[in-house]
Structures are given as structure tokens and as C-alpha cells.
Chain A
């Protein structure tokens, strides 16, 4: 034994132990086979393993199939307006930095109407886990083209196939200023999904995770065969990457060594199209965080605030 280490038993432990049932609420009403079930189970497990108190955990969502998520979590939640998950989440984090925050958004909610907020949420880099349920379609409203729908996708809005090239959410996020964490995973690999969400939860800033999600109702052909093909996924390997059990990692047929501190390499990985690269594309733990900045006046009493206001107004007194 070398090196004196702190006593593991001295770590204060609360007198409650939260099980999976503490994080689960009502039965999820997503379609059978929807990737949302898997993501929900993974988030439950991460919360349980980290023992987040449910009353100190918040899920914020916009509108879409993805955004039903808060209803299925036994934590606090906010099911907001279409595209407005980010501003609500940023507000929650700014004033309540003690809360564990998950932002659940979809390809339409985030990349279309919510795109403006998306840019600045990344830039403000406040600590939260953003899960983008990207199934390439507007599912809740029964099949309209979304910003991430592949070219030629047939939908109600484009019966002859979509004509505009899709957004690449990874590439886009990597292009925003102050980006600090970008990862990609899939709903059909629960072990990798869970490990990715765990890593995202440990990140000190905004952790953006794009989850490639199946929609068995409207986009059966999109990832249907891929989910059964072990060659479809490319595991990104690095000691600083997603911490995966070696036995699970061995099951991936395709591997790619990738250093997540290299932004340039991350952008190259984001452009891989003959397979889905899964893992941590980019991480920088030293980026500025707006919640750090905002914490300076937390805990001010009413008197302090009154005095501060008075002092400000006195400067203009005649």
C-alpha cells in the first residue's frame, strides 16, 4: 500500500438510499421499441448510482416525444414551450446551482426553433446534461421533416423527399464558442449510453450528448438495420474518453483512437458517415462557466440586496 488515502467510510452518507423506483414516476407512454425507454432507464440508473436526491434533481424539456421525459421522472421537472428548454434550464442553473439538471430536447426542439438558445446555452457553459434525442423526424406531430432528417426523407411536409441537407448537430455544436463537452451515443447500446450520461454528469460545464434514437413508428428504416449490425458503431477510445467496462468495449467491432482534447480531430470524427462514432468527441474542463460567475451573489440576504440597491441609486441622487 502506498500513499495514505482518505478513509472511505468517513465520507458523509445520507440516511436515505434512493432506488430506481425513486426516480421513476408513471409508465412511459412512448411507442413500443422507442429509443426513449432506453434513455429513460439509463438516466434513472445514473441518478441512482450517483444518489442524486430526487428533490434536488430537475429535468427540463421543450416539446416533442423526447420532451415527455419529465413526466416519467420522479424528480422535479419543467415541460416548457417548443424550443425553450435551454433558456429555462439556464435560468434554473443560474439561481440554483445546487440542483442536478438534465435538459431533454429533440432534433426539432433543439436544432430548429430552439437553435438560437442552443448557441448561447453552449456558450454560457453552465453545468447541465443536455440529451438530444435525435431520431431525425418530428414524431409527436406525426412525421414532419426535421433539421436533422437525412436528405430525401419522405414525410408529410416533403412527400417527395426532403431537399435541404440536414444539420450535423455534432459539427454545429463543435463550432459554437466556448463549447466544452460533446459526445455521441445510441439508444440501442444501454451500457455505452449509461456510461456516456455518467461522464456527462461529471462534466463541470454543459455536457452535450447527441443520442442517435430510433423511431419505430415513423422512421423504421433509418436505424432499424443499423441497430442489429455490430459493424455500424465505431467506438472512440481514449483514456480520457468514456469509461467503459473492458468486456463491453471488446464487443465493438470497430474502434478508433481519438483524443477528446483535440478539437480539430473531434470535427473530423463528426464527419464520419460510414458508421456511427460513439464516445467522447470533445471535452475541455477549463472553459469559463457562467454559473460560476453568477454564484458570487448567491446567498445574499434581503438587507444586503437592499443596501446594494440603495448604494446604486445613491450614485444618481441629486
Chain B
């Protein structure tokens, strides 16, 4: 320390040597250990029995009528698994997502970064860039905020500019910049869109899918153009129709490759020649040609149609988002309108497909009048193939789920029909909350998805945008389906302003079984069970999902399981969370039961019990909160709905469980019988042998006594007693399990080139200093062979001999002209 900065003795108490830039040491210490905010289980003295009895009475009244007791705590609380996020902590999610139009794929940004990194750098290469991928993601998200969707390239470039400012020293810093450049270049090669979470995300994804379908429409248009050209040329050849050079494409086409070109034939045939085609045939072809000539216009005029009310269009700004579709703002029932539109336009569509089929048959000269005339006379929608229907412009309906349920006839007509109309039903989180007291308490919630499911015809998805990958898959599958589709999607409430809180709410609604996720795809299998899946739900085989958290109890850390129930979802509503009775820790009665158990046990078992959930207050203290009876009925209803869905999916099925139990009982009964039979057999055998041996022994005794038998053989028994197991001696060393060693003679393949078992390198610098042309350190300062030809075999063998970790394997000499190879190879043997 410099003399000037030493504190004079007398001034010791006036200058605090620790009052430096670290203003508060305690604060610094606390910052270093942020993980100490574990929930704390209550611990303290219990109230006396009389008080507990009085409180229990009051608690029962609360359970019955919802009127809180005077003893209950009044602090603000939140369900334990959700508390940090309700209080503003940002949850981890799959957002933002990257949409790649060429690959037609959707990936979370994190996955994109990791995939790009892995494509560039191999697993063993330790790069400083790798642990900083999260940092890069964070920068990209910051830049993306407020720009939705974001311009991918700009976001990437800005984020990398910021990342390159990261202070990394020395050679590692230079390598870091180089690696950043490589990764940036690789990322910029992709074209796409970055989308952050927002309430309108299902519509953004829908628009991207509709845009992708334009490719299919373009292919269809091109196909029609070729058919048109082919038919035109065909007519020209067989019936002298004046040439319209604009309609004839004289290039070579696959469809007419069997035909001769127009110019060649024209030269050979007289101007007014015909080939003897029947007028009906010529008319038929002309009609088909006329239909196809207008088809391109038809598809141009008929983009994907979306039938939606003005309110919804305004709320989600659908004009701006659904740019690949034409919006039909309707005041009436959108399902009916969509169906009417489909019916009116269907004839045109059917006509076009019929004309295409006819054209293909004619051009390949396979049209058989006897067979095909009748076919095309009756050609209708039912004749359309799946791939035909997928080419058609999308027909979508966007409506509130409750509107569809209020007038279900049109919706049901739609889902039972064969019209490929897609319905996106909007469910609101607010509809899932606890009913208000003065509302009509309809105990059982109407389920649109279940209603559609019962008709088994439509493709059905139920979920929300918290899992963008799943939602996108469902949108793709639905748009490609030739059948009706229902996407029953959960949205946040209209008035909501905090998008991440919305995300938390949607996720909780789905995972607490209030709005469970499901997919029904009729094309997935022959039997119903194979078409229905609930695997997107966490722990789908259980009533509820649960997770383990570390909690502090009397100063000790322990793991405790917490379950996410529907009551946790209901308690997220600040207007209703105050209805919970938070029990003071000193007054915990004995008859409290976790809600998940209360809902699933028999009525006899829950008699006199009170259901509770775990909540957390602002000091991170855990409390038991009893729910009132008015919450119980909706909870039971949701659980009942979940169990219904589980049964349909064959998961945790009552019938399956019964069958398993029966099979188990039958097996156990059979086994017991078998054991008893064996036991009886053994006992009779023992008795028989005893008798026999007893007789023999008596005989021998008699002989001995009568001096008739000099030799007395030792008694024998044919029954072997089980060997007594020797007790474990005290002080015995713990048993070390030795793995089976491989056979002695093992053929070891010798690598031709030198190599190092890098993970065993102890960084002693010997080989690096001795043979730098061959050995180099990786990012972890462990050696590897960067150039097997970078040094002589002699040097490599010497390095192997010197290596304290014995991890260098010299291989075989690379230069046959090197002297003393025989001796060197012999020395290298034990290292190869």
C-alpha cells in the first residue's frame, strides 16, 4: 500500500477503510447470494386446545358460508407456484419465436440460436460464445420489444453489435469476436420473422400459414395453365381452331410430350383438315378449356375468406394482421354465412377440379367415353380427393366460443358436414373464472370442443398460445385437413394490458386442468382412441400436475411437493383471492386436507375435513388457505371434465384400471393356488420320505441289535436344507462392485494418426512446449492434436512417454522415410 493512502493511527475511527466503492457490504453479500428466497414453512407454538376448537368451529362456518373468521390473516397472498409471476417476475417461455417461411417451421429463438451454434461449432470446442447465447437472446428480446413482428435481420445485427461490446480480454477476446462474426453470418443467411408474445399471436400464425398456402395456390395455377395450354394445342391439332398465339404455349410440356409440336403438324396438314373427332368430344374439351381459362381469375378473386364480426376484427386489428385473407365482416351467424358461401362457390370449385381431371385424361389419351362420361356427369364434391381440397382457398370463421354455444345448430351443422370450413373459437379467461354469486350458477360449463368431439368428424384442437409450437402445428394440420376444423383457443380478457401476465394466466388455465389441452385428428388412426391425445398436458396420467420446491423449515432446507389445482387458478384473480381464509400457523387444525386429495377421495374419507391450498405472502412465508364451499363446486366440475377427457384418451381410465386390477387379482389368486399346490406336494413328499427313511432306520437298528449288519451307514436325508446365510461381519469394508473386465486378449485398433484423450489432459504444458506443431490447447486449456503431420514421429513418441496423464497415443509414423522407425514403433506400442 502506498504511504499516502495509509490511515494515520489517530484517525482510525474517522476513516472507514471499508467504506469504498462497495458502499454496503451486507448489500453486496446479499447480491452475491440471490437464491436464498426460498418459501418458509411456518414454525411456532400451537394455540391451546380450547382456542383451536373455537377456531375450528368458525372455520367450518367459513367453509359453509364463505364468511371469514376474525382470526384469519389478512395479508395479500398468491398461490405458491404462481406467486413470483403474479408479482411481476418474467416467466421463461418459448417466445419469441422465429418463423422460417422457406422451411415452413416455427422455432423458439433459443432453439434457433442453439441449433445455429451447434451447426458451426463441434461439441468438444469450448467457446466463450456458448455460455453467452443466453445473453444474446436477452439482447434480441430487448430490441424486439415493441416491434411485433420484428425485422429479423435488423434485430440480429443490432444484438450482435451489442454482444461484440462484451469485454473479453486477450486472445480469447479475439476468438470471441471471430466466433460472433461466424454465428452472425450463419444467422443472417436465414430469412424469417421474429414474433414476440401478444394476444393476437394465433392470428399472426394463421396469417403466416395462409401465406404459405399461397405456394400451393401458385402451383395449382401453374398446373391449370399447363392444362389450358395443352388442351388448346390439342384442339388446334384435331380441329382447325384459329391460332391464338397468346393462348398457345409452344414450348415443350410434360403433359404433351407424347404429341408432336404444332409447327411440325401445321406444315404437314392442309389448312382445313380434321381428324374425325366427334363433335361431342370437341365440345367437351372446349367446355373444359373455357372453365380452366377462367380458373386463374377465380383463384385470384377467391383468396382465403374469413368470416368474423366487426368487434372481433377491431379488437385484434385483423385487417392489418390477416393480410393473406379477405375479411367478410358479418353481423349474423358466421358459421351459417361460411357454409352458404361454400355452397355457392363450391360448384365453381367442383367445376374447375372436374375440368382439370378431364383435361388430364384427354391429354394422356386415356379418356374412355363409356366410363368417364357418366362419371363427369355426376361429378360433385364427394369426388374431390384430399389433395384437391387442400389446394382450395381457406374458409375460416372467427367467433366467440360463447356465441357458438348459444346458437349451436349452425356450428353443429358445420362440424358434421364435409365442408372444409375452419372455425377459430375464442374463449376468454374471464369466462373460466369463478361464477359471481348473483349469476346463474350453471354448475357444468358448456364445452365447445367436447361438443364437436362427440360428432367425431372435425379436426379439433383445444389450447392456447402459451405453447406456440403446438398451436402452429394445430393451425397447419387444420388448414391441410379436408374436414371441418375447430381450433378452440383460449385468449386473455379484452381489457388486459400486461401481456406477460396474460401469458402466465393462459398457461395456468391450461395446466391446472381448467382448460386442458387436447387434439383430435380423425386421420391419425382407425380407432377413436388413436386419434385423441392429451399428452400436451403436464403429467397427463394424474389428476393434477405437481412439482417439488425447496422450502425452509425450522432453518433446514427440505423438498416439498406442491400441486397446481384449479383453485390456484381461481386465486390468481385478485378480486377473489381475498375470499380465502388464511389460517394462522398457530391454529392449524388436524383435519385439513390438501385440495387435490379432498377432490379425489371418497365422500366418507373427506367427512369433517377441510380443503386447503398453499399460498405465499410477500415475506415468502407459506400459509395454508382454506377455500370456501362456493369454490368447491367449480373445482369438482373442472376435475370431472378432466377425468372425462382422460377417459376418452384412455389415460387413467376407470375401466382400464379396473381391468388391470382384475387381472392382477386373478394372477395373484392363480399364484396363491399354485403355491399352495406346490406346498402340499412338498409336504406329502416330506412325509413320504420320512416314512421310508424311518422304516429303513428301524430295519437297520433291528439288524444291528440282532448283530446281523456290521456296517451302519450314516443316516441320510434326500431333503436339502437351505444354507444358513452368514451374518455380515462388523468392520467389514463396504462392498466395492467391480465391473466385469473384458477378455484379456482384445484386439485394439491402432489409429494411424496421433491423437489425445483430451479430457484426461492435465495441462502440464509439456507436449505443447515440446511439439507445438502437433499439439495445441483447446478453449479449456487441454491438449489436442491439431496437425498430426506437424512433427516427427520421434517427437510425438517422446511426448507420449513424458505425458504424466499418459493420454497421448502416437499412432503410426506418418513419414515412412523417418529414421529409426522400428524402434520408435516399438516404444509407441504401449501408448497405442
Contact = CB atoms under 8 A, between A and B. Distances in A.
Interface of A: 1-11, 13, 15-22, 27-28, 32-35, 37-38, 40-41, 44-45, 49, 95-98, 187-191, 214, 216, 227-228, 231, 234, 248, 253-258, 265, 268-269, 271-272, 275, 285-286, 295, 298-299, 301-302, 305-306
A20 B781 contact: yes
Most B CB atoms within 10 A — which of A33, A44, A231, A305?
A33
Contacts of A49: 131
B248 interface: no
Given A189-B760, A231-B738, 8 more contacts: A1-B507, A2-B539, A6-B91, A37-B765, A38-B764, A188-B762, A227-B804, A256-B737
Contact of A190 (B16, B135, B763): B763
Nearest to B500: A7
A9 B734 contact: no
B370 interface: no
Interface string B249-271: 00000000000000000000000
A265 B806 CA distance: 33
B25 A41 contact: no
A190 B18 CA distance: 38
Contacts of A187: 762
A268 B733 contact: yes
A215 to B, nearest CB: 11
A257 B735 CA distance: 9
23 contacts: A2-B547, A4-B92, A6-B89, A7-B90, A8-B134, A9-B135, A16-B166, A19-B169, A22-B170, A32-B764, A35-B762, A37-B764, A41-B762, A97-B29, A188-B760, A190-B760, A190-B761, A191-B760, A268-B733, A272-B734, A275-B736, A299-B24, A299-B26
Contacts of A301: 16, 19
A191 B545 CA distance: 37
A272 B734 CA distance: 8
Top 9 nearest A-B pairs by Cβ distance? A2-B538, A38-B762, A19-B172, A41-B763, A9-B138, A33-B804, A7-B90, A299-B26, A16-B167
Contacts of B18: 95
A265 B732 CA distance: 12
Given A45-B781, A98-B25, A5 B92 contact: yes
A44 B766 CA distance: 18
Nearest to B84: A6
B214 to A, nearest CB: 32
Interface of B: 13-16, 18-19, 22, 24-29, 32, 81-82, 84-85, 89-94, 128, 131-132, 134-135, 137-138, 141, 165-173, 176, 467, 504, 507-508, 511, 538-539, 545, 547, 555-557, 564, 733-739, 741, 759-766, 779-782, 802, 804-806
B91 A227 contact: no
Contacts of B172: 19-21
A268 B734 contact: yes
A46 B802 CA distance: 27
A37 B138 contact: no
Contacts of A11: 134
A45 B762 CA distance: 12
Contacts of B134: 8-9, 11, 13
B24 A254 contact: no
A269 B734 contact: yes
Most A CB atoms within 10 A — which of B13, B168, B508, B736?
B736
Contacts of A285: 557
B14 A254 contact: no
Contact of B538 (A1, A10, A96, A227): A1
B762 A4 contact: no
B81 A4 contact: yes
Contacts of A28: 765
A26 B547 CA distance: 49
A9 B141 contact: yes
B739 A254 contact: yes
A184 B176 CA distance: 35
A295 B29 CA distance: 9
Nearest to A231: B738
A38 B807 CA distance: 13
A13 B84 contact: no
Contacts of B135: 9, 13
Given A15-B166, A45-B781, A7 B547 contact: no
Contacts of B85: 4
A281 to B, nearest CB: 12
Contact of B91 (A7, A33, A35): A7
Nearest to A13: B135
A223 to B, nearest CB: 10
Contacts of B138: 9-10, 13
Contacts of A295: 26, 29
A260 to B, nearest CB: 13
A188 B804 contact: yes
Contacts of A254: 736-739
B168 A17 contact: yes
Contacts of B806: 227-228
Contacts of A188: 760, 762, 804-805
Nearest to A302: B16
A257 B736 CA distance: 8
Contacts of A257: 737
A234 B736 contact: yes
Contacts of B171: 21
A33 B82 contact: no
A18 B168 CA distance: 6
A253 to B, nearest CB: 5
Contacts of B735: 256
Most A CB atoms within 10 A — which of B82, B138, B507?
B138
Most B CB atoms within 10 A — which of A4, A190, A295?
A4
Nearest to A186: B762
Contact of B22 (A6, A98, A253, A269): A98
B169 A21 contact: yes
Contacts of A265: 734
Contacts of B16: 301-302
Contacts of A231: 738
A156 B574 CA distance: 79
Contacts of B765: 27-28, 32, 37
B400 to A, nearest CB: 27
A13 B779 CA distance: 21
B736 A37 contact: no
A17 B132 contact: yes
A298 B25 contact: yes
A40 B763 contact: yes
Contacts of A269: 734
B451 to A, nearest CB: 28
A256 B16 CA distance: 53
B810 to A, nearest CB: 16
B561 to A, nearest CB: 12
A1 B110 CA distance: 15
Contacts of A40: 763
A258 B738 CA distance: 15
Nearest to B137: A9
Contacts of A228: 806
Contacts of B24: 299
Contacts of B28: 98
Nearest to A204: B33
B29 A7 contact: no
B167 A7 contact: no
B90 A17 contact: no
Contact of B26 (A95, A234, A298, A302): A298
